[in-house]
Amino acid sequence: MDTLYLVDARIIDGSGADPVERGWIRVEGRRITGMGRGPVDTGSNQVVDAGGRTVLPGLIDAHTHLAATEMLNLVDTVSRPVLAAKTFTNMRQTLAAGFTTVRDAGFTDYGFKQAVETGLVPGPRMFLATGPLSQTGGHSDFRPAEVQDRQRPSDGLYHPGVVVDGVAQCQWGAREVLRRGADQIKIMAGGGCTSPTDHVTHTQFTAEEIAAIVHEARARHTYVMAHGYTPESIRTCVAAGVRSIEHANLVDEEAAEAMAAAGTFAVPTIATFDLLVRDGQEQGLTADSAAQAAHVLERAYEALRILRDKGVRIGSGSDVLGAHQPFKALELQLKASVLGPMDALVAATRTNAELLGLDDLGTLAPGKIADVVVVDGDPLDDISVLQDSGRIHLVAKDGRVVVDRAGLSAASSRTARHLAPETEVVVS
């Protein structure tokens, strides 16, 4: 097994601990086997010199929609081959931005994950929800009011919402998305900004329906993530045993207390609403959807303060859509305005790994999988450096360099062979 040393690094390990200056990391195969500070005897092993740059764990985005390369109301206007090509590009760009793991919250087919796992294409480690479960007229029922036909089924590339009503249909829907390859089940427990016949203030699914879906998830040793904004939908989901509340932008103190008491995670999403308010209508968003996004954004920062102050475990997800897909790291910048840069980084590393049940990821420590990002700059001083792709100098996933913009791994030809064979470097 080859051994590699990453030296002269400013290490932010994702745990919330202070940075380690002039640190080093030893990688054997796909795992970290040693860490320290100061000079280290590297012997005849391969060495990557970080040159004082910041080293982070691979970032995790816990709320993506990789196949939503258009605004949701425009997905059907794009040919399937073009949508596939755009999705593969999005996957590559996500990895190149330092996000080595994502939890996809809906629409992306299992085949995209297979393509990464079999080495056909570069991309992040993916945990998929496939088709979100929605009640009739709910957030993933994208039929406008004048359409009477049933929502179109999945086409094996893009999974629209699975519309289910009543306990029996909810049981079927949960089993169906798990059959399709879902790693977790996504439900729409409230209205949303982009669906045509509901509103963000609506509560969706009954307590019995949600409990039935949670039961099916647990039977398959997985969990439910629930889209919800309002205190009412949040409390219903918490009582039913949902693992994470997505968005939660309209949460109140009582609902946050219930989340904290139950150990329910929150995945607040701010970036997508910030971007939709800026130019969503230029991207095809309707005026009504833009107005709802503005309402949600207005409350988002106060919601984040409430969640923090009540002790809720806060993860991080961008929820970006369409042309906004490259702005995933903006979420960390916006969260940092409330949480501070260190806690924003922890949300996107350690806490997200805990949410996904990934004991081997999220922090840099001996025994962990070597997902590593080398950044030109100090995100604790200016976290916006993470949004500048040119300053993401190196990304390693599973101990192998997949992005090397600064030629760090090419300093040794042996390093290049071990860590970055030509077919694996997705950005030069």
Give residue limits of the domains in the chain.
3-58+362-419, 60-356
Cα 90 to Cα 142: distance, rounded to the nearest angstrom: 23
Token duo for residue 363: 């922090």
C-alpha 251: how far from chain center: 21
Cβ-contact 343, 304 below 8 angstroms:
no
Cα 212 to Cα 30: distance, rounded to the nearest angstrom: 39
Residues, the chain: 428
Compute the C-alpha angle 105/108/114, nearest 5°. Answer: 115
Token duo for residue 174: 């949960």
Q: What is the value of pTM for the model shown?
A: 0.94
pLDDT at 415: 40
Write the CATH number of the domain with boundaries 60-356. 3.20.20.140
pLDDT at 152: 67
Amino acid 305 reads R
Amino acid 26 reads R
Nearest in space to 401 (alpha carbons), one of 367, 427, 379, 368: 427
Cβ-contact 125, 101 below 8 angstroms:
yes
Cα 184 to Cα 427: distance, rounded to the nearest angstrom: 30
pLDDT at 210: 99
**Residue 249 contacts by C-beta under 8 Å, 6 or more apart in sequence?**
229, 268, 269, 270, 273, 296, 297, 299, 300, 303
pLDDT at 400: 94
Cβ-contact 266, 315 below 8 angstroms:
yes
Pairing of strands 185-188, 244-247: unpaired
Cβ-contact 182, 132 below 8 angstroms:
no
Radius of gyration of the chain (CA): 21
CATH 3.10.450.50: does it fit domain 3-58+362-419? no
Residues paired with residue 300 on neighbouring β-strands, in sequence order: none
Cα 349 to Cα 329: distance, rounded to the nearest angstrom: 12
Token duo for residue 1: 């097994």
pLDDT at 167: 99
Neighbours of 184 (CB within 10 A): 24
Cα 281 to Cα 251: distance, rounded to the nearest angstrom: 26
Q: What is the pLDDT along the chain (428 residues), one digit of tens a residue?
A: 789 999 999 999 999 999 999 999 999 999 999 999 999 999 999 999 999 999 999 999 999 999 998 887 778 888 889 999 999 999 999 999 999 999 999 999 999 999 999 999 999 999 999 999 999 988 887 777 777 776 666 677 888 889 999 999 999 999 999 999 999 999 999 998 888 788 899 999 999 999 999 999 999 999 999 999 999 999 999 999 999 999 999 999 999 999 999 999 999 999 999 999 999 899 888 899 899 999 999 999 999 999 999 999 999 999 999 999 999 999 999 999 999 999 999 999 999 999 999 999 999 999 999 999 999 999 999 999 999 999 999 999 999 999 999 898 865 444 433 333 333 455 43
pLDDT at 424: 43
The structure tokens 């009739």 sit at 136
